[in-house]
Structure 1
Amino acid sequence: MVTTQSFRLLGKPDVKDIICDQVEGENVVVWEDIEQVFPGVKYITNGNTVISMMRDSNRNRVAPQCIKHYPGAILDVVLSTTISDNPLESTSDTSNAPNTEERPSASTMTLDLETEIVRRLTPNIQAQLRTTSNGFDLITQAAKDGQIDPSDVVRRCFHQLKAEMTKNMELSTRVVQLTEKKESQTQSFDQMALIRRRIQSLLTRKHDLHENPIPRLFVVLPMIHTSSLDSQDSFSNTFRLYFLCDCGDHTKSTNSETPHHIHLAKHEGYEITRPEEFFQKYGQYVLTVLQMLKFGISTEGTTVPTLSHFVEPVASCQTPADQQFLADTIESGMDLTIGYIEKVSEDKRDGTVRFAEQMEDSEALESADLRHMETFLKKKKDDKRTLGNLYRTVTSEGHARWICIDHFRENYQEETANTLRETTKLLKGSYSEKLGCAYVNLCSRDDADQLHLALEKTKTICELGIIFFWDATRSDFKRIRDSLARFHIGLLVLNFGLMSMYDIVARSRRYDDILDVIRHPSVHSVKVSLDTNFFQQSSLQTYNEYFPNLRHMTLHFLNDQDITGLKCMVAKAPNLSSLVLYGVSTRPLLFQIYNALAEHQTFLINSKDQSLIILPPTNKSELSITTLQDTADLLKFCGGRLETAELLENELDETIAAAFAKGTENGSCLKELTLKKAGRDLGRQGVKDLASLVARSALRKLDIHLENEEERARILESIQWKHIRELTVYMNEGNHGMGPLKALVDGLGMLSGRVEMDRFELQHVTPRRLLPIAQDQLLRSFVASTSLKQLLLHVLMTPNQIFSLLKTTNLSLLEQLSLLCEGFKSTEVDSILDKLQHARSLRCISVGNCDITEEQEVKAKAKGFTLSVFRML
């Protein structure tokens, strides 16, 4: 394979590849070859470093003159007369292009333009004035001598003045054009500087293990087929997401010849199921990545190469034709994606302002955003690989990276991995090579010895979990502490159980060794579960060290004597993001803990089944699951910070509704809400409070099961449809159950276009009667206004009602369909299967209260989905 080196003129986007030669077995680029491609070359730079000519052992230049080969890098060529126009050049030291001089400000450039215009025009104007003055003197003298008619003099002067005015008009127009061009360049510089800041922020941001649950770098390209590239329908708003290998200096090994620049993962990519919603949420982040790939950049050990090198690694997972097609169309595909992002953008204001605001909004994704992004990807049912077929690693600084198998294998020790795999199996645990995590159960000191031996040769491990099932002594924990110094751990999970009966005297010192384990510098994130009496039997209050790596902590069976120690622990753990306390059984103790910890962080509290979950409100990487049990005071204080709430049976009354509404007056974080109430009504004010709660919450999931029909309808009227993804509604039977459906149809009627939802379930409280005609019509109107993934209709319907419903249903996204039938025959089931032949995403269909044949099951399987039966009494 021919080895090449990439070059570009400083400040220019075009890249040229020059073939390398070899000198004494080392790849080099001959200077004469560079001069042929770039006449007038003065010197070459790599970032801020000027590249020197190669020299021999006597420090003499090698003949012929040449420079060293830099794999994967784009070297900048500086000419003897270069005037840099590079829009990405800045005073930062992290670009591929060197910063040879500071770029002047916009005002300075404008002043220089005016000075240059005056300098160039002044000699011409002065010469014209001298000529005009001399000519006027001659003409005046000739008129006095009677040689010419004075009227001719006036006429000639007029024509001359008109000609001069025409010239001046042309000159003024030229000045305006030059000024506008310079202002446009200044605007471009501002935009490119903004792009550069966003790219640097994206590449240099450090992610701990819990912040990087799936790969963070990806690119989105339109799905364009070679057969339809020349047709108008070649781009049909369908996109594929490709993950990137996040390699760099952290993946390099000694004497490595493998390029370590960011590239496409060895994976065919994933189709995006809901592109418009995807780009509304992630569009600006995608825009930043696309700009990064178009311009290329090198910063803090990470290099983004030219597009030709960028697509090479996917060759192993695509046909040669598809690989070449991707290489040929990637740049135009990027432009199409950028255009689509701009099209779906809601901001239609001035382009420069909109561009700046979009780029400023493109912050790096949080872990919750990454997890949610996975729901937009269409994956094969039998694909058990990690996303992008990438491997999770952790750097020596404890930051998570997802890399391809080639870069993973470069630092891979197969023997060590096999030993660790066998050991975790022996210790009734688990090991994942791709995720880099190992979990073990230690039941004896011999088990601990086995683990120590397996970890001896391990350099880094992303995640290590240890559950202690034996009464370990102080010396056992000290050995664990010393073992951690040998390698880097992204996340350490410790679950301490039994106390040693033989270590009663040294209990407090024994727990001090646990504290040393928690704060060990080689561990970058800790999740710990401690046994009872930990705070009373440790010297935590006099312990002088902090626990910056402690992220998650679980404690069991606290009492009021533990509050002081718990408060001390929280105060010394500034990065604590979740605290789970089991065994808090009384409300007074609950509020004692809340008040004690509120001095350090404002916590969110949950009480259920004698447990307490406390989360800081600013934590975006954890989902605060909250089930409330008649704690109205708690809702008043913390209701605005709840993300998930279930109000069930006796929990739901007018007092609770009023408290929740009060707690969300200044804003609501609520994402999921379940309302289930049987028996007496909530009352007019209670319904009004719940409706206001729903109206001010960006709910993604709503499950409403209220016995009163009017209450259901009033609350459903308040839904924010642009956020809702899952909706479950229970209805009464008969014509008096129309209220909820009418509220849904009326709400959707206010919108333009279909609403995309993941799941809609409609269920009669006791499905014994057929769906009335009026309800059937409303249901069809609602379904026609939506695009659903899961449609679950547990209401009795006739064959004709179902056939009419399927005609109005958008089948393109439908993955699951559940129908409750009445009086169905085998032939009518066949008709349903025929009508679903265009539902390409369908995976499962369930029919209730009817029989299916084995032949129908085979027919469904041939269409790509399963057919099953369920019974409802």
Structure 2
Amino acid sequence: MTISHQRFRHGDILESLAVRKDRITGEHYSRVIDIQETFPGATRFKVNGIVLNFLEDENEKRYEPRRIAHYPNDVIDIVLAVPTHMPSSFPISSAEKTERIHSQAPQSPSTSSIDYTISSLSLQPTPTSLSGDLAGLPGTANTMPASYPTLVGLTATPALNALGIPNFQQKVAQWDNTGSVQHQQLLTQIAQMMQRQNELLEKQNKMLQEQADAKKRNEKVLAEVKAAKEPDLEADRKQQQTIDQLIVAQQRVDAILVQNYKLHENSIPWLFVILPDSYESWDPRNVRKERFRLLFLCECGEECGQGTNQDTITSESAITTANPPTAPIRIKNRIHLAKHEGYELSRPTEFFDRYGPYVLGMLRILKHCLAVAAVLAPAVALTDNGVQDVMDAAKLISESTMEAVDMSINFLEQQLGDGRAPDNLAGTGSDELDARDVLENLAALEGADLRRLHTFLRNSDKDKILGNLYRITTEQGHVKWVCLEHFKNSYHETALVSFVRSIDAAGGTYDPHFRRVTISLKSCTAAKKIFKRLTTHASAVDNLDVSLAWDFGSADLVNLVDKVAKSNIKSITLDLKDETSSNSAHATFRTGKGLCHPLLSLLANKNLRRLQLSNFHQFGTRTSNLPSSAVAPWIQSFHFHGVVNDEGRDRLTNILSLCPNLVDLRFTGPRQIFQGNTMDSNLHLQIFTLKKLQRLYVTNWCTLWPKTLEGYTWRDGMELRELVCTMGALEHSFVEESIRRSHEILEVLVLFDDYYVETPLDLSPKASAGFSDELYFSRLTHLDIQARFADGSLEFLSSIMPRLNLIHFGCGTYEGSLFRHINLASLKSLSVEVMRSVNFSQLREAIQRLGGDCQIEFLRAHGVEDVKKNLFEILKMLRLKRLLLSLVSAGEVVSIAQSVNLYNLQILSLIESDYSPEAGDILARRRRTEFAESFEVQLDSRSWECYIDASIRSALRTRTHRASPPLPPGHRIQDSRDLGEQPFQFFQHTLPRYSY
């Protein structure tokens, strides 16, 4: 192997030394210290008689250790340092001295070295007289007495200066008197030589003095240059200060993100900003007519770029400044606008009143994040790597976006005033920024705020996730919403595609937004394959919704529990597909060895946060109690849907005692046999002991005791965010007091009276409690009440309804008067029972007044006989996505099929109604031009039977083999036998999907 080297020469000595290679530029060079190890005293270097300069960095400063360039085809001559005293071993001619002086003249030595040289070469008085030194000269030219100094010694003595020459000349005169001609000639030559040496030294001294003066002039010039560069240095300091501010801002952004990471609340994207729809025509004097657009932000962070190659602006890379006083700066992934056109605000004034301070804070953060490329690009340009990438990335920042951000900030600052949203990102130094919390006033949005956010948007995305963002979970268990690019970077795309294909092949679906797998397994073999896939692609699935649609055994459940434990699944829903009419054949299993007892082992999975067991009808007999030591504090949500007897109720009590940190608890049962699920005092008391509970759903249950029990502490109620219950399922006083205690935080309140409870419900606050009318139910987003109320409750609700920004509202016959007071502008979903015609007429008029601002997309109506004329008009005006009707005759269904607005309609659900082939033909014809991309008719069991019977009669009457023309693509009729199972299931999709 050939080694790169450089040849050096000093006199007759020629050596080859290996060279070094610069890691950044790749150029070869030689270090001076390496050369000095071979040639001690080497200080300067020549190539072809030209003195080489030492290499400098980009700041015009010499490298340390010093280095010289590589000249592979030349020999570099070594120049040794000039000694301060002439050597006494050999004489040096004047010519040689002159050559050395002139070879050093071009150099610019430091002030200290010049002063030292001048002091060393200054002519000092000789310490001894020349007469004493020459007292005994020899008599012959060949020998000299010991008393005379040798020629070499006289020549090399620099102390013979102008003061010693006269005495020496006197001695010469004395020697003349003696007649010693030889001595006279010799001493005359010595005197002449010393005279020339003195003159030479004087010239050298004068030259060094001139060099000192030149050095002073150079220092003055350097000072002037430094003063001229001071503005640039100040700009660099400001740039570094700005970078420090960006770093601190990013740290505070990370802090506010972590603050909001209550995983069960982060169900939709929560970072957003507001920008003018058209900033070119912006008129600050006429803000009410201006249009605004909401844009979501991608929450990309360090975990978004792991294992990927991205540019400097969007991924982490080291950037070293020109004069790095500290460690290299790391540029992290930063929040940015999602790749989406955004959503137009329907009520901007009201929106800014509610979200203004939050939006202003997010705009200031976005402004700093957008500025990072422009700020860091000059610093990155000083390096040799990645310059072009960074500069190109900086150009991608749209100037129009920056202008729109500034415009929005100025507008909100004027609207809100200085007191409501101070600019905590401003500062004069990093120390000041470190001394306070930059985002201390930027509070994270909670669930009610996010759900209410939908009411302000004109959403044209149908059911897609807002902003085209995808949900990911970090290694710390946090949830973030990121764009598709960062989502792909988080997971290996090839493996994910393979996994999705296997799910599709098995008849399931994969939702990348929520990382959810939904699948129905029909055999033991299919179950083993899917569960094995879950363990190899664990990072891609957080939620598993699986139906066990085969005659499974205990070993199958053991395998399921084992595979889930090896995966990353945090939420699991198991549908056991038990029929409500099934007998107790499975009850033959002994207690402790029940068929389904392995499922309770899921509680021991520390990764699991949510467990739902559906259609489980022999729960008590097919399982056994868990020991008291099997505590599962990591379980946050438990949902049980099925039929339980006394033993099953005890099993549920046992499970709740092992899950003290439950946040979400739901007990539901089949509606047609709700009398089978009874609530006893032990289970009720166990519910009350769950101090962290926020959401409580108990439907199609009833209390076991005939009257109110005395002495139970649950009469005080508990603070809840969501309460959904059938009247009579929970103790009456518990429900009333829970609503009162939760009046400031309650977000969802749904009450159904299926038992016709005699005691009316009182929702009005107690006079002695002392409450603020503005805070009572201020966070309520979903209100559905179909129960008997005490005197004054409806009047109280009527007084507060106008200020409530509800997303869903539902009522029965007796609560229909509330329609006169409801704020329809915020509604997305509406549910009404059999209503009086006057109330429906008021509803129609209110929708007409709103016009295009009405956002109702989901409508449920029970019984339309008395209101069909107004209903048909309403169906023409609303651009519904889902319509659910019950107790509708065949003629009314045909009229609805003719009048309903079909452009956005995706689902038409009918319960206990007569759906005929004639109505199907009308919808099929209109489908070709008016329907949404997909359309589905859902029929409950009675409606399905009516449709089949009518199709058969039509086929017999027309003597054909089919009852109606082929359905267009995307149009299908489905037998939804459980359609009316839960009354609140209609608006379930408007509730948040909680993440765990």
- CA contact 2:522–2:549 (8 Å) conserved in 1: yes
Q: Within the alignment, does 1:291 sit opposite 2:364 as a pair?
A: yes
Amino acid at match of 1:249: E
3-state SS, counterpart of residue 536 of structure 2: coil
Q: CA–CA distance in 2 between the matches of 1:241 and 1:434?
A: 20
Alpha-carbon deviations, 1:326-374, whole Å to 9, x = none?
71133332233234434555x8978879999997664222344334423
Note the C-alpha offset of 1:286. Answer: 1.9
Q: CA–CA distance in 2 between the matches of 1:425 and 1:722?
A: 41
2:727 to 628, 639, 645: 628
Return closer, same or farther for 1:673/1:594 CA change in 2, 3 Å cut-off: same
- Scaled by the length of structure 2, the TM-score of the pair is 0.47
Note the C-alpha offset of 1:738. Answer: 11
Return closer, same or farther for 1:690/1:445 CA change in 2, 3 Å cut-off: same
Q: Within the alignment, does 1:690 sit opposite 2:794 as a pair?
A: yes
Q: Within the alignment, does 1:552 sit opposite 2:638 as a pair?
A: yes
3-state SS, counterpart of residue 356 of structure 2: helix
Return closer, same or farther for 1:370/1:770 CA change in 2, 3 Å cut-off: closer
Q: Within the alignment, does 1:538 sit opposite 2:624 as a pair?
A: yes
> Which residue number in structure 2 is paired with residue 265 of structure 1?
338
> Mapping of 1:203-218 within 5 angstroms?
203-205=257-259, 207=261, 210-218=264-272
3-state SS, counterpart of residue 518 of structure 2: strand
> Which residue number in structure 2 is paired with residue 598 of structure 1?
688
2:303 to 250, 255, 260: 250
Q: CA–CA distance in 2 between the matches of 1:475 and 1:89?
A: 59
Return closer, same or farther for 1:368/1:572 CA change in 2, 3 Å cut-off: farther
- CA contact 2:364–2:409 (8 Å) conserved in 1: no
Q: CA–CA distance in 2 between the matches of 1:235 and 1:467?
A: 52
Q: CA–CA distance in 2 between the matches of 1:578 and 1:693?
A: 27
Identical amino acids, percent of aligned pairs: 19
- CA contact 1:456–1:486 (8 Å) conserved in 2: yes
1:580 to 661, 667, 670: 667
Q: CA–CA distance in 2 between the matches of 1:214 and 1:720?
A: 24
> Mapping of 1:467-616 within 5 angstroms?
467-470=547-550, 472-484=552-564, 486-496=566-576, 504=589, 507-508=592-593, 513-523=598-608, 525-529=610-614, 532-534=618-620, 537-573=623-659, 574-582=661-669, 585=675, 589=679, 591-601=681-691, 608-610=699-701
- CA contact 2:678–2:702 (8 Å) conserved in 1: no
- CA contact 1:658–1:689 (8 Å) conserved in 2: yes
Note the C-alpha offset of 1:756. Answer: 6.9
Return closer, same or farther for 1:521/1:712 CA change in 2, 3 Å cut-off: closer
Note the C-alpha offset of 1:437. Answer: 1.9
> Which residue number in structure 2 is paired with residue 96 of structure 1?
247
Amino acid at match of 2:798: V
Alpha-carbon deviations, 1:430-489, whole Å to 9, x = none?
223444221222333211221134334314123222233345555444433443455423
Return closer, same or farther for 1:651/1:398 CA change in 2, 3 Å cut-off: same
Q: CA–CA distance in 2 between the matches of 1:358 and 1:695?
A: 41
Amino acid at match of 1:248: G
1:637 to 721, 734, 737: 737
3-state SS, counterpart of residue 517 of structure 2: strand
Note the C-alpha offset of 1:264. Answer: 2.2
Q: Within the alignment, does 1:338 sit opposite 2:392 as a pair?
A: no
3-state SS, counterpart of residue 666 of structure 2: strand
- CA contact 1:497–1:531 (8 Å) conserved in 2: no
Greater CA radius of gyration, 1 or 2? 2
- CA contact 1:472–1:500 (8 Å) conserved in 2: no
- CA contact 2:531–2:563 (8 Å) conserved in 1: yes
Amino acid at match of 1:566: L
2:504 to 425, 429, 432: 425
Alpha-carbon deviations, 1:682-712, whole Å to 9, x = none?
9xx95533202333566425566768xxx97
Q: CA–CA distance in 2 between the matches of 1:477 and 1:54?
A: 71
Amino acid at match of 2:690: H
Q: CA–CA distance in 2 between the matches of 1:480 and 1:516?
A: 10
Q: CA–CA distance in 1 between the matches of 2:869 and 2:551?
A: 63
- CA contact 1:657–1:690 (8 Å) conserved in 2: no
Q: CA–CA distance in 1 between the matches of 2:302 and 2:809?
A: 47
Note the C-alpha offset of 1:570. Answer: 2.2
3-state SS, counterpart of residue 679 of structure 2: helix
Amino acid at match of 1:341: L
Q: CA–CA distance in 1 between the matches of 2:840 and 2:626?
A: 60
1:240 to 293, 315, 323: 293
3-state SS, counterpart of residue 364 of structure 2: helix
Q: CA–CA distance in 1 between the matches of 2:513 and 2:694?
A: 35
Note the C-alpha offset of 1:577. Answer: 1.3
Q: CA–CA distance in 1 between the matches of 2:828 and 2:494?
A: 47
Q: Within the alignment, does 1:390 sit opposite 2:469 as a pair?
A: yes
Q: CA–CA distance in 1 between the matches of 2:437 and 2:865?
A: 52
Q: Within the alignment, does 1:277 sit opposite 2:363 as a pair?
A: no
Amino acid at match of 1:628: M
Note the C-alpha offset of 1:279. Answer: 2.6
Return closer, same or farther for 1:556/1:307 CA change in 2, 3 Å cut-off: farther
Return closer, same or farther for 1:502/1:427 CA change in 2, 3 Å cut-off: farther
- CA contact 2:455–2:855 (8 Å) conserved in 1: no
Amino acid at match of 2:652: L
Alpha-carbon deviations, 1:709-758, whole Å to 9, x = none?
xx977x6787689988888999978xxx799979x99xxx9xxx999764
Q: CA–CA distance in 2 between the matches of 1:494 and 1:705?
A: 34
Amino acid at match of 1:387: L
Amino acid at match of 2:500: R
Q: CA–CA distance in 1 between the matches of 2:793 and 2:587?
A: 59
Return closer, same or farther for 1:651/1:487 CA change in 2, 3 Å cut-off: closer
Q: CA–CA distance in 2 between the matches of 1:485 and 1:251?
A: 26
Q: Within the alignment, does 1:451 sit opposite 2:530 as a pair?
A: yes
Q: CA–CA distance in 2 between the matches of 1:392 and 1:606?
A: 26
Return closer, same or farther for 1:599/1:62 CA change in 2, 3 Å cut-off: farther
Return closer, same or farther for 1:861/1:279 CA change in 2, 3 Å cut-off: farther
> Which residue number in structure 2 is paired with residue 122 of structure 1?
none
Alpha-carbon deviations, 1:769-828, whole Å to 9, x = none?
999xxxxxxxxxxxxxxxxxxx98669xxxxxx9xxxxxxxx9x9999x9xxxxxxxxxx
Note the C-alpha offset of 1:222. Answer: 1.3
- CA contact 1:661–1:693 (8 Å) conserved in 2: no
Note the C-alpha offset of 1:401. Answer: 2.3
Q: Which runs of 5+ in 2 are unaligned?
A: 1-22, 28-54, 71-231, 316-332, 378-393, 426-435, 579-583, 704-713, 884-902, 906-921, 934-996
Q: Which runs of 5+ in 1 are unaligned?
A: 1-20, 41-52, 65-76, 98-194, 298-303, 311-322, 772-790, 796-801, 803-810, 819-841, 845-853, 866-873
> Which residue number in structure 2 is paired with residue 369 of structure 1?
449
- CA contact 2:595–2:622 (8 Å) conserved in 1: no
- Scaled by the length of structure 1, the TM-score of the pair is 0.53
- CA contact 1:239–1:275 (8 Å) conserved in 2: yes
Q: CA–CA distance in 1 between the matches of 2:656 and 2:68?
A: 64
Amino acid at match of 1:398: G
Q: CA–CA distance in 2 between the matches of 1:603 and 1:549?
A: 14
Structure with the higher fraction of residues in strand conformation: 1
Note the C-alpha offset of 1:585. Answer: 2.9
Q: Within the alignment, does 1:378 sit opposite 2:458 as a pair?
A: yes
